[in-house]
């Protein structure tokens, strides 16, 4: 049985991108945990590739904040502190506020209908109790909002910041929140965009972002405090 569960590659097309995507997915799903070493040779052997695409993938993940490396040491999965998360959300608030205002100016009717479709599908999933798929629809809604801002670079930066928080959001059930509240806020954002009201759209989005951000920071602070209180291992 493979140690990471990444699987061998069957195609050699864009190897670096495939390695990157599999490693990133493993991090987001928690199969690769914060602090875990990422040994390039072992990853290459498991996936059936040379070390070069693995190194390129690790550099890309490091640039995006998912991996940390230091000279003469193996790369490790980044372990963000509460302060790191606060800084990420601080940046997200500024950029998301800018993005929602840009979206109010640039969004098309088809994009609004796409947002409405996502909300309708999310409501069905909520009623079925499919929490995982509901969260995927929540992410899809926000990514569609970023795209509606009509600025590729802005959407790329926001998507990366969003995904840096994704694994940590999944750590505790305390962070789940109430899906019906999330849906109501999504509908409020759509209505404000349709009404050409960027102030209301921004206010609702900031409330929508701040609630899970505050819960996540508090969760990580509690986790960090628990680690400090844990008794040291005796060798």
CA-based angle 97:103:169, to the nearest 5?
50
Question: What value does the mean pLDDT take over residues 198-206?
Answer: 97
The pLDDT, as a whole number, for residue 164 is 79
Mean pLDDT for the chain? 86
160-201 confidence digits (pLDDT tens): 888 878 766 655 444 556 889 999 999 999 999 999 999 999
Pairing of strands 67-68, 75-77: antiparallel
Secondary structure of residue 38 in the 3-state scheme: strand
Distance (Å, whole) CA 233 – CA 235: 6
Q: How many residues can be counted in the chain?
A: 235
Percent pLDDT > 70 in the chain is 86
Closest residue by Cα to residue 55 from 110, 16, 21: 16
d(Cα 190, Cα 194) in Å, to the nearest integer? 6
Q: What is the pLDDT, as a whole number, of residue 71?
A: 80
CA nearest neighbour of 191 among 205, 210, 175, 174: 205
Say if residue 117's pLDDT is above 80: yes
Residues 37-81 pLDDT 10s: 999 999 999 999 999 999 999 998 988 888 988 887 889 998 878
- Residue 189: both structure tokens together: 């954002």
What's the distance, CA 37 to chain centroid? 21
Angle (CA) 118-159-56 rounded to 5° is 130
222 confidence band (pLDDT: 50, 70, 90): confident
Phi, psi (rounded to 5 degrees) for 9: -85, 140
Specify the pTM.
0.74
**27/149 Cα distance (integer angstroms):** 28
pLDDT on residue 12: 47
């Amino acid at each position: 049985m493979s140690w990471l569960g990444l699987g061998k590659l069957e195609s050699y097309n864009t190897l670096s991108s495939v390695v990157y995507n599999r490693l990133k997915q493993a991090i987001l799903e928690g199969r690769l945990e914060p602090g875990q070493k990422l040994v390039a040779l072992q990853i290459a052997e498991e996936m059936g590739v040379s070390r070069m695409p693995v190194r390129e993938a690790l550099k890309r993940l490091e640039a995006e904040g998912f991996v940390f490396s230091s000279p003469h040491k193996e790369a490790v999965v980044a372990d963000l502190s509460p302060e790191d998360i606060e800084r990420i959300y601080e940046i997200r608030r500024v950029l998301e506020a800018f993005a929602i205002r840009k979206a109010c100016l640039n969004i098309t009717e088809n994009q609004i209908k796409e947002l409405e479709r996502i909300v309708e599908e999310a409501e069905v999933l909520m009623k079925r109790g499919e929490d995982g798929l509901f969260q995927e629809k929540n992410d899809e809604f926000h990514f569609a909002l970023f795209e509606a801002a009509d600025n590729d670079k802005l959407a790329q930066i926001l998507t990366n910041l969003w995904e840096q928080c994704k694994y940590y959001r999944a750590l505790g059930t305390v962070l789940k929140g109430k899906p019906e509240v999330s849906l109501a806020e999504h509908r409020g954002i759509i209505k404000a965009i349709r009404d050409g009201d960027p102030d209301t759209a921004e206010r609702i989005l900031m409330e929508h972002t701040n609630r899970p951000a505050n819960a996540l920071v508090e969760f990580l602070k509690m986790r960090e405090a628990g680690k400090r209180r844990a008794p040291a291992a005796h060798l």
